[in-house]
Structure 1
Amino acid sequence: MAKKEKNKPQGEKESTAVLAQTAVKQRFTMPYNNRELSWMDFNIRVLEEATEKENPVLERVKFLSITASNLDEFFMVRVAGIMEQIHQGYTHPDPAGLTPVQQMEKLSVKIHDFSKKQYSCLNRSILPVLRNNGLAFLKIKELNEKQMKFIDAYFERLVFPVLTPMAVDTSRPFPLLANKSLNIAVRLTDMEEESVFAVIQVPSILPRFLELPSSEGRAFILLENIIMHKFEELFELYNIKAFCPFRITRDSDLDIDEETDDLMEEIQKSIKKRKRGKPVRLEIYRKCDSELKNFLIDMLDVEPQEVYEQSGPLDLTFLSKFAGIEGCDHLRFEPIVPVSPPADFYGCDDIFEAIRERDRMVHHPYESFDSVLRFVKTAADDPNVLAIKQTLYRVSGNSPIIAALIRAAENGKQVTVLVELKARFDEENNIHWAKKLEKAGCHVIYGLTGLKTHCKICLVVRREHNAIRRYLHMGTGNYNDITARLYTDIGMFTCKEAYGTDASSLFNVLTGYSLPPEYNKFIVAPTGMRKFFEDMIKKETLNAKQGLPSGITAKVNSLVDPSIIELLYKASQAGVKIKLIIRGICCLIPGIKGVSDNISVHSIVGQLLEHSRIFKFENAGDPVVYMGSADWMQRNLDKRVELVFPVEDELLKKRGFAILDLMLKDTVNARIQLSDTAYLHIDKRGKRVVNSQTQFSQLAKKEQRSVKRMKESKTIGTPILPKHAQQK
């Protein structure tokens, strides 16, 4: 049976958690940008990519859909959380000095403005360009006779049978509508001219858009427009006075009792409750009838500022599927095709032998995720492999990793899998896979009480020459073959004894009652990671004061933690040059004279989602580099099991340095943060055009060709050091 371990690290973990809680209650005087406002700035950067005329139009469509999906989750979790704080009477300011009420006031203004920009982008920038390229979304009045007959037949055959008009009156209450579902409210009058209301849910089981027969280009129509066109057939006994599409977003953060005896059952109950969460946003069409609008506000119990009147189709996430329509590759970026096998594994028939020779590194998606799959699949079938232990946070819907682990268990190996059931919005998928693994004979656990297990590690225990050798893969991203094509991540393979010992110790903490050990190489949260990073920043500060070489370069998804930010400010004041590459939230404010003028902040938003975490410290002239799963956020350092590991192989170290160097030279996807927290594109004047993502793809191909030539000439030795690494 799967189980949830109730032990949790003591001592330092508890003290750091207390410190973090205390920090929130303090009134910070240091420069600090509010987390939620900074996140909105990130989504604005994504929206800028949707408006960028140099981007292919279907890529712009995809970026716009991403902004909508991002904003949905932001409302379901972050905005809902602030609203709950206000409801509970919580008045403590955040580190930026803003109370929940003040945060909500600023956010409301910013989000309303952002929504207007989304639809301006759609209506003025994207739809006209799509039409110019032969892709037109048509309104009912634009349809010709043939197209009208087509939608009539489609409605009768597929739409009408699944529609359920729901009247709202004294005997029939307002229906419980699913989170993020698209609906249409209707105001009707009966024979006595009395107003009545009804709601129809646009069926999510049907495609949101339908391609129409067209003699010129390609034409499409939205499903809700077909339904609204057919309202007279649905309400034959009533006069239709007004109708309006609407959509609600609900509070969807789970409230889980982790002390329960059955965590899986508790999460399944919470998922059901999520469907009944309080509405935190109501979206309606801008021209909605005022009586209908007031009816919806009253029925859904939302405040006027929680109503968003949109000037176009609601729920722009449907554009993600439209961006993938067939036959339009010329309207997309040239795809980044992963190199397979990557240079580090080219010509390696035995993956374990390759790892024994030296540590190996793969940079996804420029280099294929297949090397990770091969590692697990080979272990599953190798008769000398005794055990496989792996953490899973987010996996794909039809995961080859899961299939390999199941096969390993069926082959008689001891397979232990930590499945994080609390991975937000992946809970149901993870529960499904946990049951599958358990049924196959894997030992499935759910981690430590009160902590999410976010580290990325796979340990293979192999019998070799009457001894045991441990092989492991550690990474910055999930064991997900789908997102590995879209997210940039780095993985390292090693069989060095110190790393293997640490891996065994970490899994013993996760699966049993072991206390956190003194690790040889690993830096693990929540027991030691905060102290490690704080000590490393302090060390660079001291080096600068003593005139020794100093510097910090860090690439993370988010920088939020007040203690880390304060130490970075102090390091800057001591003269430490700090270069930060932060895709998303950045609460640190760079460029303030006397405070952060030695800090630069770059944000890269491009074709791929930047996801890797890399940390470089100059270390008095002997630079070191670390990689791992953690961002510089309180949740990562104090409330999650995270893993950061040193890269010690000289070749791989240089490669890590080169990755950071190239990203800092990006002039296409990069923006820099100013001291007023605004972001500007890098000024390209007088600079070489550098798109780091396309250059990484080119480098991966070039390095593979170099190794291939070396192998073909039967040269014995390690792969040729790529030129971008030789420069160091």
Structure 2
Amino acid sequence: MPAEHDPLRDSSLYFNRELSQLDFNFRVLAQAQDPQVPLLERLRYLCISCTNLDEFFEIRAGTLRHAQELGLTAHADGLEPTAVLNRIHDRAADLVAAQYECWNDVLRPALGDAGVRVLARDAWTPRQTRWLRAYFRDEIMPVLSPLGLDPAHPFPKILNKSLNIVVVLKGRDAFGRDGNLAIVRAPRSLPRIIQIPERISGGAHDFVFLSAVLSTFVDELFPGMEVKGAYQFRVTRNSELLVDEEEVDNIALALRDELVGRGYLRAVRLEIAEACPKPIVRTLLENFDLPENAVYRINGPVNLNRVIQVYDLVGRADLKFPPFQPRLLPGIEGMFERIAQGDVVLHHPFDAFTPVLELLRQAAEDPNVLAIKQTLYRSGKDSPIVEQLVQAARNGKDVTVVVELRARFDEEANLGFADRLQEAGVQVVYGVVGYKTHAKMLLIVRREGRKLRRYVHLGTGNYHSGTARAYTDLGLLTARPDIGNDVHQIFQQLSGLAPAIRLKCMLQSPFTLHAGVLMRIDREARIAREGRPARIVAKMNALNEPQVIRALYRASQAGVRIDLIVRGACTLRPGLPGVSENIRVRSIVGRFLEHSRVYWFGNDGAPELFGASADWLERNLLRRVETCFPMLDPEVAARVTDEAIDNYLADNLNAWELQPDGEYLKLVPAEGTPPHSAQAALLARLCG
């Protein structure tokens, strides 16, 4: 059928990706509003929703404004960038209002009742006020540089997401200049949350926002002048780095240059105190070159996400989730022998990440190991992975690491450990021009007798010890020759200039993964049309690739039963008669961030099961280097199906179901059905 006549291309069949991504934060905020969640964890969820919103504006809204300026056309949903930006403003305003209502009316009072007080200015006692004034004079005032605005002092550069106070002044200064407006910028060296000593406050956990202290005592910065008003504000800027990789000789140097100016790129959002007069708001908008629909008036601190520090400063186990101990794989002292016995799957955070670290440590020390190859996308600061790779190189191993310098917001960290690896003699490769290397692969070549054997780790998540305790992810450890050879060829392709390769077991973006997914969806549709049971289950973080969605629609029309577990943005519209009535979409939001990618295809009674680094997004399937690996061992496949698929489809406590109109409804246990939380079940089963 010609594309222009394909009814499945109708824009009404697609949600907008940006608006869908924005809506995910309402589901996160719902965790903060849930009285069944421990109180400090609710505070953490509130802060996560705020941080997510910041990143949304830095990336998604920033990209849309750029598209608007370039006059780019709409995507599958048919909405032009201007229309999307207008809808974003309305929806984000609803989210911001809900966030501050949750803070002001629910969490702050509840925390106070529990002995954790974040004190508003009107609640300070005289003794607390005296201590805070002294703290302002001794610790804050010496590092401030207030700037009065006049022809000789133009509006200063304002750093992305930094805390600032605009001050309205009356009177004349020592030079006879009339006061008007001044800007007070809070240096990054200052703590955004200040704890009042118990001897002063009488409470062990009493805190104030830096913004409240600045606003209260700002008059001391302008002696002899009258402060008529002080209003905190924050500007969010586009943080998407634009490096033309084909036009630069060294991407590392180009990125270093770009990072210097990242904090001062194009403004996309202005947050301002609710009481700020309109003329001042207009002045700020003019200086930041922002339209009216970029303003968000705030009923509280503009940097609410900074209250996350309270979570770390308060050691109240009764207000947090119970601690858990991840299960440790037996036989960890001999990882090569353990993997040689058969495939191993790790389900994080319920299974410890330690076996992966231990495998790398043993490889670094083993005289029979000849070479180590690894991809690194995000690894965190002081990464034990990096340290083991450095040690391996020092021990004479041939070590190659593919470092993705363009991992968003980790560029600086990745440049740093790339330098460290190179200094140790590691061969560092920066991936492929035009394609981010998002694959998660570790390959170890070991001499065993007269043969060389390859040991492989493939994962759905990053080589990051921190996120391995906070994100759900899957990792496969295997010594299967076919998979080892596939991984070897992919590394050869990444580090050299190899032609397209034919893999035996794995699928790879940008070459075979997209086509492989489409083929398997179409196969299920054909099986259904032939009158046999057909089923697809896929778990991922986001879905927006139009060809995949159309294939899923065709499969639904053919009678395939399709369950999609999509944590965040989903542009597929489920439940439409004649199109997608056989498709269900659910989102799981719980204690851990759902991050694993799993694809299951019924295949006429011979199921195929894959883990992957890729979501079903355009960028992952078409513009990144990704891996998709089969679970070939029957026991491994049975475990992953049970834990990562059936278990999540049974969740009726943390699951939200996407409706045809785009609304998500929280599921509740049906009468007579026992409550089931997928994550809680795995904690009880694997960590109990």
Q: Please give the range of the TM-score, normalised by the shorter of the 2 chains.
A: over 0.9
Verify: 1:89 aligned to 2:67, yes or no: no
Q: Which amino acid in 1 is paired with 2:218?
A: F
8 Å CA contact retained: 2:22, 2:56:
no
Please provide the CA RMSD for this pair: 1.8
Partners in 2 of 1:434 and 1:216 — Cα distance? 46
Give deviations 1:621-642, integer Å, cap 9, x for gaps: 1111000100000100110000
Residues 416-447 of structure 1 deviation map (CA, whole Å, 9 limit, x = unaligned): 00000000110000000000000000000101
**Shift, 1:271, TM fit:** 1.3
Runs of at least 5 residues in structure 2 that lack an aligned partner in the other structure: none
2:221 is equivalent to residue 234 of structure 1: yes
**Residue number among 148, 167, 186 corresponding to 2:148 in the alignment:** 167
Please give the alpha-carbon distance, in whole angstroms, between the structure 1 residues aligned to 2:398 and 2:608: 36
Q: Which residue of 1 aligns with 2:430?
A: 446
Tell me whether 1:222 sits opposite 2:206 in the alignment: no
> 685-694 or 443-452: which moved more?
685-694
Q: In 1, are the aligned partners of 2:361 and 2:388 still within 8 Å (CA)? A: yes
1:154-183 Cα deviation digits (max 9, x unpaired):
222211111111121101111111100010
8 Å CA contact 1:615, 1:627 repeated in 2: yes
**Where does residue 691 of structure 1 map in the other structure?**
677
Q: How many residues align?
A: 676
CA positional deviation for 1:30: 5.8
Matched AA of 2:256: Q
Distance of aligned partners of 1:301 and 1:374 in 2 relative to their CA distance in 1, 3 Å threshold: same
AA matched with 1:292: I
Measure the CA separation in 2 of the matches of 1:165 and 1:48. 40
Taking structure 1 as the reference length, the TM-score comes to: 0.91
Structure 1 contact 602–672 (Cα < 8 Å) conserved: yes
Correspondence for 1:357: 341
CA contact (8 A) 1:359 1:493 kept: yes
Which amino acid is the alignment partner of residue 395 of structure 1? S
Q: Which residue of 2 aligns with 1:333?
A: 321
Q: 1:303 aligns with which of 288, 291, 294?
A: 291
The one-letter code of the counterpart of 1:76 is E
CA displacement at 1:664 relative to structure 2: 0.6
1:27, CA displacement in angstroms? 6.6
Alignment of 1:187-202 (within 5 A): 187-191=168-172, 194-202=178-186
**C-alpha deviation, 1:230, in angstroms:** 1.7
| Partner Cα distance (1:606, 1:48) in 2 | 10
Report what 1:64 is aligned to.
Answer: 46
The change in CA–CA distance for 1:256 and 1:193 in structure 2 (over 3 A counts) is: closer
Indicate whether 1:255 and 2:257 are aligned. Answer: no
Q: Residues 454-480 of structure 1, C-alpha deviation per residue, up to 9 Å, x if partnerless?
A: 000000000110210000100000000
Q: Matches of 2:11 and 2:140 in 1, distance apart?
A: 59
**Partner of residue 656, structure 1:** 640
Q: Deviations over 1:633-655 (max 9, x none)?
A: 01001100000000000100101
Q: Does the 8 Å contact 1:246/1:282 carry over to 2?
A: yes
For the pair 1:480 / 2:464, whether they are aligned, the reply is yes
Paired residue secondary structure (1:675): coil
Whole-Å Cα distance in 1 between the matches of residues 224 and 607 of structure 2? 78
What amino acid is the match of 2:208?
I
Instruction: Give, as a single letter, the amino acid of the residue that structure 1 aligns with 2:418.
Output: A
Higher mean C-alpha displacement, 544-553 vs 611-620:
544-553
Cα displacement (A) at 1:143: 2.1
Match of 1:127 among 94, 105, 108: 108
Give the aligned partner of residue 29 of structure 2. 47
Runs of 4+ in 1 over 6 A off after TM superposition: none
**Deviation (angstroms), 1:193:** 9.2
SS at match of 2:264: coil
Residues 242 and 289 in structure 1, CA contact (< 8 A), matched pair in contact too: no
Aligned to 2:445: 461
Tell me if the contact between 1:557 and 1:582 (Cα under 8 Å) persists in the aligned partners.
Answer: yes
The 3-state SS of whatever aligns with 1:129 is helix
Residue type of the alignment partner of 2:314: E
Q: 1:558 is paired with a residue of what secondary structure?
A: coil
1:150 matched residue in structure 2: 131
Identity of aligned residues (%): 39
Deviation at 1:270, TM superposition (A): 1.3
CA distance in 2, matches of 1:337, 1:674: 37
Matched with 1:602 is 586
Contact 2:193-2:309 at 8 Å conserved across structures: no
Deviation, 1:121, is 1.1
Q: What displacement does 1:561 show?
A: 0.5
Partner of 2:99: 118
Larger mean Cα displacement after TM superposition, 641-650 or 35-44: 35-44
Match of 1:184 in 2: 165
Cα separation, partners in 2 of 1:351 and 1:193, compared to 1, 3 Å: closer
Range that drifts further, 283-292 or 506-515: 283-292
| Partner AA of 1:57 in structure 2 | L
SS in structure 2 opposite 1:396?
Answer: coil
Using CA pairs below 8 Å that are at least 6 residues apart, which structure has the higher relative contact order? 1
Look up the equivalent residue of 1:104 and give its one-letter code: L
- 1:217 positional shift: 5.8
Query: What secondary structure does 1:230 align onto?
Result: helix
Q: Which amino acid in structure 2 is aligned with residue 247 of structure 1? A: R
CA contact 1:590–1:596 (8 Å) conserved in 2: yes
Q: How far apart are residue 327 of structure 1 and its match?
A: 2.2
Report the CA distance shift for 1:281/1:30 in structure 2 as closer, same or farther (over 3 A): closer
Deviation, structure 1 residue 139: 2.6
| SS in structure 2 of the partner of residue 349 of structure 1 | helix
Q: Does 1:32 align with 2:18?
A: no
* Distance (Å, rounded) in 2 between the aligned partners of 1:506 and 1:325: 45
Match of 2:652 in 1: 667
Report the more deviating stretch, 182-191 or 305-314: 182-191
**2:404 maps to which of 401, 411, 420:** 420
1:611 corresponds in structure 2 to 595
Pick closer, same or farther for the CA change 1:29–1:164 going to 2, 3 Å: closer
1:286 paired residue number: 274
Q: What is the rounded CA distance, in whole Å, between the counterparts of 1:338 and 1:516 in structure 2?
A: 40
| 1:560/1:336 CA distance change after superposition, 3 Å | farther
SS at match of 2:611: strand
Q: C-alpha deviations, 1:668-705, integer Å up to 9, x for none?
A: 11111111111111131322111111111222136xxx
What's the counterpart of residue 708 of structure 1? none
1:324 match: secondary structure: helix
1:44 CA displacement: 1.0
Letter in 1 for 2:126: E
Whether 2:253 is the aligned partner of 1:265: answer yes
Q: CA offsets per residue over residues 295-316 of structure 1, 9 Å max, x none?
A: 2222222111111101111112
Paired position in structure 2 for 1:537 = 521
Amino acid at match of 2:267: P
Indicate whether 1:680 and 2:668 are aligned: no
Q: How does 1:360-379 map to 2 (within 5 A)?
A: 360-379=344-363
Q: C-alpha deviations, 1:479-535, integer Å up to 9, x for none? A: 000111100001001111101111110000000011121101110000111100000
Moved more, 603-612 or 35-44: 35-44
Unaligned runs of 5+ in 1: 1-18, 703-728
For 1:578, the equivalent position in structure 2 comes to 562
Return the alpha-carbon distance in structure 2 between the equivalents of residues 258 and 334 of structure 1: 47
Tell me the amino acid that sits aligned with residue 673 of structure 1.
Answer: L
What secondary structure is seen at the aligned counterpart in 2 of 1:447? coil
* Corresponding residue of 1:76: 58
Within 2, Cα distance between the matches of 1:226 and 1:361?
51
Q: Residue by residue, what CA displacement relative to the aligned partner does 1:546-588 show, whole Å, maximum 9, x if unpaired?
A: 1223100000000110110111011011110001111001111
Give secondary structure in 2 for the equivalent of 1:309: strand
- Bigger mean CA deviation after superposition, 329-338 or 385-394: 329-338
- Give yes or no for contact 2:559–2:582 (8 Å, CA) kept in 1: yes
The answer to whether the aligner puts 1:244 opposite 2:231 as a matched pair is: yes
